[in-house]
Amino acid sequence: MTERIDGHTTLIGLMAYPIRHSMSPTMHNNAFAKLGLNYAYLAFDVTSDRLPKAIDAIRTLDMRGSNISMPNKQKVIPLLDKLDPAAKMVGAVNTIVNDNGILTGYTTDGIGFMKSLDDEDVNIRGQKMTLAGAGGAGTAIAIQAALDGVKDISIFNAKDQSWENAKRNVDIINEKTDCKATLHSIEDKEDFKNEIADSFIYCDSTGVGMKPLEDMTLVEDPSWFRPDMVVFDTVYAPRTTKLMKVAEQAGVKHVFNGLGMMLEQGAAAFKLWTGKEMPVEYIHDILFADEK
Ligand code: NAD
């Protein structure tokens, strides 16, 4: 690392709170080193009250940009100069690019979801998706999938604080894309089962199944799945969630956790800053060396 940093090194940040646990600095700094790019990526604890000054520092210090995570993904929007159309539709930003003082906000989670499927030669464009969850991840996935040509999305959500957001997502998709979106209550199990039966892909973006809820899944009965469908869980800790085990019991061929999505959302941000492809497999092996 020290060999790489000199008077010309350009800084890229990660602004969130809490953030010290993040894998992103390891991901990006190793990718810069591998490709011989003169950037450094650092995480900064930035609470919402300090966000305006932190964003201004991107301009002042001529940083190339920043990642943004909770609690700042929505709050950052009024502080930027431009928004990518997908970020505008999602209503959240996880990546900022600084072009000579002009800050543009992007969202790469949905891109990461679609790219991770492309990496596995799974094409969901023109198909129907049933999606559980309409929080941060679910919103990004639904909107990017709709923009990329998924034909039909049935969104299932709990009647909690994200129900209004789920309604908003459905309205935006129906208004701005060729995809047909509908909203359903996750309490209606018969409807849930029927919509999954009619879908090419079922995606769970609720976090149910993530540690410490690893014994839980919204779909417990393998007969809800078909072997020829795709089952995707945005969770990646544990690597094999309860949902994925149920899908495997059903003989589902394409069962994925959120690891590919996580790597590809980082790769999409990397490309926005550097114009280069992140060496994703190399980075995967560094981040998860202990699993070999
Ligand atoms: P969030 O809090 O914004 O949204 C959670 C959603 O799940 C809401 O729609 C909520 O209604 C629903 N939900 C929560 N508990 C539920 C339950 N018991 N039953 C039914 N619905 C329930 O969270 P988020 O930021 O969208 O993250 C969700 C999951 O996605 C987390 O596990 C997170 O780690 C994962 N994630 C993965 C990636 C990736 O790159 N793989 C990226 C972002 C988030």
Q: What is the per-residue pLDDT across 78-121, written as a single tens digit (0 to 9) for each?
A: 999 999 999 999 999 999 999 999 999 999 999 999 999 999 99
- Give the chain's domain count: 2
User: Are residue 122 and residue 218 in the same domain, yes or no?
Assistant: yes
At 290, the pLDDT band (50, 70, 90 cuts) reads: confident
DSSP 8-state assignment for residue 20: T
Residue 109, pLDDT score: 97
User: Are residue 120 and residue 192 in the same domain, yes or no?
Assistant: yes
Ligand 1 site residues (CB inside 6 A) read 109, 112, 133-138, 157-158, 160, 162, 186, 205-208, 210, 234-236, 258, 261-262, 265
| Mean pLDDT for the stretch of residues 171-184 | 98
> Token pair for residue 71?
């609690």
User: Are residue 134 and residue 94 in the same domain, yes or no?
Assistant: no
Cα(35) to centroid of ligand 1, in Å?
A: 33
User: Are residue 221 and residue 273 in the same domain, yes or no?
Assistant: no
d(CA 71, CA 55): 14
Cα(2) to centroid of ligand 1, in Å?
A: 38
Is residue 131 over pLDDT 80?
yes
Whose CA is closest to 146, among 170, 177, 188? 177
Is residue 206 over pLDDT 60?
yes
User: Are residue 82 and residue 153 in the same domain, yes or no?
Assistant: no
Kindly compute the dihedral angle of the four CA atoms of residues 136, 142, 145, 147, in this order, to the nearest 10 degrees.
Answer: -100
d(CA 285, CA 88): 34
Cα(138) to centroid of ligand 1, in Å?
A: 7
pTM, to two decimals: 0.96
d(CA 222, CA 219): 8
Q: Domain with 168 in it: what CATH number?
A: 3.40.50.720
Contacts of 48 (CB under 8 A, 6+ apart): 17, 71, 72, 75
> Token pair for residue 128?
């129907």
Whose CA is closest to 24, among 279, 270, 292? 270
d(CA 110, CA 205): 11
d(CA 37, CA 270): 11
At 291, the pLDDT band (50, 70, 90 cuts) reads: confident
Q: To which H or E segment does residue 190 belong?
A: helix 189-197
User: Are residue 81 and residue 143 in the same domain, yes or no?
Assistant: no
**Does residue 230 lie within any of the structural domains?**
yes
**Does residue 123 lie within any of the structural domains?**
yes
Residue 292, pLDDT score: 65
**Does residue 44 lie within any of the structural domains?**
yes
Residue 23 annotated as binding site? yes
Q: To which H or E segment does residue 81 belong?
A: none
User: Are residue 14 and residue 70 in the same domain, yes or no?
Assistant: yes
DSSP 8-state assignment for residue 211: T
User: Are residue 114 and residue 147 in the same domain, yes or no?
Assistant: yes
Cα(11) to centroid of ligand 1, in Å?
A: 30
User: Are residue 59 and residue 120 in the same domain, yes or no?
Assistant: no
Looking at ligand 1, which residue's alpha carbon is closest to its atom 34?
A: 235
d(CA 92, CA 136): 8
User: Are residue 181 and residue 228 in the same domain, yes or no?
Assistant: yes
Residue 4, pLDDT score: 83
**Does residue 1 lie within any of the structural domains?**
no
Whose CA is closest to 173, among 124, 134, 202? 134
At 231, the pLDDT band (50, 70, 90 cuts) reads: very high
Residue 1, pLDDT score: 57
What's the longest Cα–Cα distance across the chain?
Answer: 62
Whose CA is closest to 270, among 261, 260, 280, 282? 280
Active-site residue flag, 73 = yes
Residue 24 annotated as binding site? yes
Q: Which atom of ligand 1 is nearest to the CA of 136?
A: 26
Structural domain range at position 174: 110-257
